[in-house]
Structure 1
Amino acid sequence: MSVHALYVTAAYGITAVVLAGLIGWILLDQKGRKRDLAELEAAGVRRRSDKAEVEKS
């Protein structure tokens, strides 16, 4: 394997690892935000957008 091919392979590998990490981070954060939102809704806190929809009706 030439030096250039090794460089390209390493670049693609690092990019794949970084992208996988970012996607994992986003999915974990989404799970946490959904949990937070469920706790707030269970406590009776409503979204501002719900209030605006009620006023329009």
Structure 2
Amino acid sequence: MTHEQYVFVSYALTAVVLGGIGLWLWLDRRGRLAELKRLEEAGIRRRSEG
């Protein structure tokens, strides 16, 4: 493996990992927002409504 190939593979792998983390965070956020909406519709509120 040449140096250029090594650098390309390293950057590509990093991009895939960061993209996966970003996708995971986005999907998790959607899930949390849906859960909060469901709880609020059920009448459950947050405690600290200052």
Coarse TM-score class (shorter-chain normalised): over 0.9
Instruction: Quote how far apart the aligned CAs of 1:5 are.
Output: 0.6
Q: Secondary structure at the match of 2:44?
A: coil
Structure 1 gap segments, 5+ residues each: none
Q: RMSD between aligned alpha carbons?
A: 1.1
Task: From the two aligned structures, give the one with the greater helix fraction.
Answer: 1
TM-score if structure 2 supplies the norm length? 0.94
Percent identity of paired positions between Structure 1 and Structure 2: 48
Runs of 4+ in structure 1 displaced over 2 angstroms?
A: none
Larger Rg: 1
Q: Which residue of 2 aligns with 1:37?
A: 36
Q: Does 1:46 align with 2:45?
A: yes
- The amino acid across from 1:43 in the alignment is A
Q: Which residue of 2 aligns with 1:7?
A: 6
Structure 2 gap segments, 5+ residues each: none
TM-score if structure 1 supplies the norm length? 0.83
